[in-house]
Amino acid sequence: MSVRQSLLAILAQGPCYGHQLRHEFDRRTGSVWPLNVGQIYNTLERLERDGLVDRGDADAQGHVYWEITEAGMTEVDRWLAAPVERGLATRDELAIKLAVAATLPGADAADVVATQRVASRRHLGTLRDVRDSREDDTPEGLAWSLVVDSMIFAADAELRWLDHVQDRLAEHPEHAVALELTADRPKRGRPARPSVAALA
């Protein structure tokens, strides 16, 4: 999630101070990813350093308003027009856990899948209950429902992926997927450079 671009996009609507930005971010995301004020001010200072926002003077209540610059507006336009790129590498804890369990001698990867399926179903049920408990036709309600629906689709996809993992595990006898420690020992550091004499 890009806090930086999200805050810039909000500032494109008009000047805001830190707590106001946090409130506006929460309104637009259903408070699913709460931000602390320190994170907002750190981000604003970096945006100022990069010439994307300007810091205004404090008002009578001590609120410092931040205003987007032309460069900031260009950045918002670029962000909204660009797709979110998904990397090939995964840092998904569940995917890594199951990959290790599937290749670990003595581990029962099917049990890991079964345990996760129970937790994933419970999570999906909770998300659906939360969605169904709130009928809201306001713009804030729409924003909130889009975020919750995204989480529901992801949870449903996780359950389908767990079914796939179970099927893949069933295709392989346990001895075929267990990986013993390799006898190869990686060398530490950089490989030695050939000497001038060796190159001659």
Report pTM.
0.71
To the nearest 10 degrees (0 to 180), the angle between helices 93-103 and 109-132 is 160
State the Cα–Cα distance between residues 58 and 63, nearest whole angstrom.
Answer: 5
- What does pLDDT average to over the chain? 85
CB 43 within 8 Å of CB 25: no
φ/ψ region of 35 (left if φ > 0, alpha if ψ in -120 to 50, else beta) reads: beta
Grouping H, G, I as helix, E, B as strand and the rest as coil, residue 8 is helix
CB 40 within 8 Å of CB 96: no
Grouping H, G, I as helix, E, B as strand and the rest as coil, residue 119 is helix
Q: What is the pLDDT of residues 126-155, one digit of tens each?
A: 999 988 888 788 888 888 889 899 999 999
Q: What is the pLDDT of residues 23-45, one digit of tens each?
A: 888 888 876 777 888 999 999 99
Distances (CA, A) of 74 to 8, 51, 53, 80, 150: 10, 11, 12, 10, 27
Element (DSSP H or E) covering residue 109? helix 109-132
The whole-number pLDDT of residue 191 equals 59
Along the 200 residues of the chain, how does pLDDT read in single tens digits?
488 999 999 999 999 999 999 988 888 887 677 788 899 999 999 999 999 999 998 899 999 999 999 999 999 999 998 888 777 766 788 888 888 888 877 778 889 999 999 999 999 999 999 888 887 888 888 888 898 999 999 999 999 999 999 999 888 766 556 667 677 777 776 655 655 555 54
Give Dmax (Cα) for the chain: 79
